[in-house]
Amino acid sequence: MASSIDATSGGIVSAGNSTAALDIKTGGTTAISIGTGQSVTITNLVLTDLSLASANITTLTGTTAGFTSANITTLTGTSATITNIFDGDGAVRAVPSVGAAKTAEYTLTVSDVGNYVTVGSGGGITLLDDVFTAGDVVSIFNDTSGTVTISCGITTAYLAGTDTDQASLTLATRGIATVLFTSASACVLTGNLTA
Per-residue pLDDT tens over the stretch 63-105 = 444 444 444 444 444 444 455 555 555 555 578 889 999 999 9
Sheet containing 22-26: which strands, arranged edge to edge? 11-14, 3-6, 22-26, 29-34
What is the rounded CA–CA span in Å between residue 102 and residue 100? 6
SS3 label, residue 182: strand
Q: What is the pLDDT of residue 94?
A: 73
Question: Given this model, what pLDDT does residue 39 score?
Answer: 55
pLDDT in tens, 2-15: 444 444 444 444 44
pLDDT of residue 128: 97
pTM for this predicted structure: 0.57
Mean pLDDT computed over every residue of the chain:
73
Domain boundaries, the chain: 3-85, 105-194
Q: Which CATH number fits domain 105-194: 2.60.120, 2.60.40, 2.40.128, 1.10.260?
A: 2.60.120
